[in-house]
Amino acid sequence: MNEKELPESLRGDNISEETKSLVSSLSCNKDFLGKIYNYQGCWYYPNTLQGVLNFQKGFKPQETDIIIASFPKSGNTWLKALTIALFVRLNNTSSSSDALHPLQSDNPHGLAPFLETILYLNSSTPDVTKFQSPRLFSTHMPLHTLQEPFKDSSTCKIVYVYRNVKDVGVGYFGPIWEHVLSYWRGSLEDPKHVLFMRYEEMKSESAAQVKRLAEFLGCPFTEEEEDQGCVDKILELCSLRNLSGLEINKTGKAHNNMHYSVFFRKGEVGDFKNHLTPEMENKIDMIVEEKYKGSG
């Protein structure tokens, strides 16, 4: 695959002279798609790095903003869908309940776009006027990189989803230790603005975790909603089975021509056992223990 066939965010044909100068000073490595560069402790393809820099330069946060964060292949799509559904329910009335739900007409990534690979990929001043409060965005940046534009303003709500590294590894992405720890520490230091969620708990305690998410976002379920089964309805709407079966997610494409269907894998806990040998598992467990030692 040549560079022009790659999604725009994975290429290196859209960086400024200033970024080229920066890139020349950064640690460089190569993966199966091309060169990647280490910026503030995270690895990026050149165009994505440009998007990160554009974001840091131009993003104007609002107090009501919500940012869904994760390492790739960690449950970002599901968490986005749940967050969208939580807020859509607040606007539902008896007269509009039959209207098409946003998740039925657009993919979660279309409704909550990535900051560095979509919104700010080509400009530090994209048009964000179409986003109504609360604005919902997403990112794969570590917390310290994400918070760069927040220095002179109140912090918005940030929700991070962590997944067992062995299941994340099935998605062919590299080490995630500092990425995870940045949000873990952030959640301990500022629990009102940073929520740390575990994918495995979202699967095993779905109702409790969705209620926890709603509470954090300031839109808790009422007793009446719980009695009416609202929590279960949201979980069903946002289930992998339902989302992957929607026409928009079977045939639709993102603006970068990537098929929405690629965002829906098995979503199973422990699927790594179908891909890793016991020896590989043990080695990863030892690395995890070493990297997270002392973090709590």
Pick from 3, 8, 145, 171: nearest CA to 76? 171
Rounded to 5 degrees, what angle do the CA atoms 24, 40, 148 make?
A: 115
Q: Tell me, what amino acid is at 185?
A: R
Contact 264, 161 (CB under 8 A): no
**Tokens representing 274?**
């179908």
- In sequence order, what are the beta bridge partners of 44? 37
Q: What six digits make up the tokens of 180?
A: 């995870």
Phi first, then psi: give them for residue 29, nearest 5 degrees: -145, 180
- Residue 95 main-chain phi, psi, to 5 deg: -85, -20
Strand partners for 36: 29
Cβ burial, residue 22 (10 Å; 0-12/13-18/19+): middle
Residues 6+ apart with CB under 8 A from 78: 161, 202, 238, 240, 243, 267
Q: Using CA atoms, how far apart are residues 250 and 66, in angstroms rounded to an integer?
A: 27
- Active-site positions? 140
C-alpha 112, offset from chain centre:
9
Q: Give the whole-angstrom CA distance, residue 169 versus residue 163.
A: 10
